[in-house]
A and B are shown apart, each in its own frame.
Chain A
Amino acid sequence: NAGVTQTPKFRVLKTGQSMTLLCAQDMNHEYMYWYRQDPGMGLRLIHYSVGEGTTAKGEVPDGYNVSRLKKQNFLLGLESAAPSQTSVYFCASSYPPTRRPYEQYFGPGTRLTVT
């Protein structure tokens, strides 16, 4: 049982390049989330998904796209990377919040640097 895994662990991009971050979970969770973590800002929600084939915007969605084609995978895309997207990205998953206790399970993170 691997929990939540993220690929890659580190990446350096040049401004304007594109990339996709992959998140996978093996806990059969319906909900999945993408956060970014910046110094002094805590974690901020980028996008989330409440089930296969669905996505929704979070607090800071601009510049990112997501897809949830399979229940176990949640992809985060940067079409044209900008230095402001330099951050650590965390994926998380959970059962629906109606199911108690409500807890999100996090992956180990992806450190992205855009030069």
Chain B
Amino acid sequence: GNSVTQMEGPVTLSEEAFLTINCTYTATGYPSLFWYVQYPGEGLQLLLKATKADDKGSNKGFEATYRKETTSFHLEKGSVQVSDSAVYFCALSHGDFGNEKLTFGTGTRLTIIP
């Protein structure tokens, strides 16, 4: 089946530290991969995505590269800020074209300390 495995949280970092949140997936075919972010008290927002192998998604200083050989889509940011504190979800889309669904990982809570 299709599944997403995320790095267990919570993760606590100091401001300006380097961030990596690991995500690996199991899927048939060639899924699209996503990172969603959930700020406190809000719904999920799409952070970035990649639709094929070797694609790099980027947004707000975050990056993730679709690695088919390692079935991974790790999220990175070079210098985190307090405002990056949130829960991050890795997800993949699966299903026939035009009938895709999303499968989410369990989420990783990130806290940035000033």
Contacts and interface: CB of A to CB of B under 8 A. Distances in A.
B21 interface: no
Contact of A103 (B41, B46, B105, B106): B46
A106 interface: yes
Contact of B4 (A42, A44, A92): A42
Nearest to A35: B104
Contact of A96 (B45, B98, B104, B106): B98
Contacts of B100: 97, 102
Interface in A61-92: 90, 92
Given A41-B106, A42-B104, A106 B89 contact: no
Contacts, number: 50
Interface of B: 4, 32, 36, 41-46, 49, 51, 89, 93, 95, 97-102, 104-107
Interface of A: 4, 40-45, 48, 58, 90, 92, 96-98, 101-104, 106-109
| Majority secondary structure of chain B interface residues (helix, strand, loop or mixed) | loop
B40 to A, nearest CB: 11
Given A43-B89, A102-B93, A97 B99 contact: yes
B97 A42 contact: no
Contact of B105 (A42, A97, A102): A42
By DSSP majority rule, is chain A's interface helix, strand, loop, or mixed? loop
B37 to A, nearest CB: 11
Nearest to B100: A97
A42 B46 CA distance: 15
A43 B51 CA distance: 21
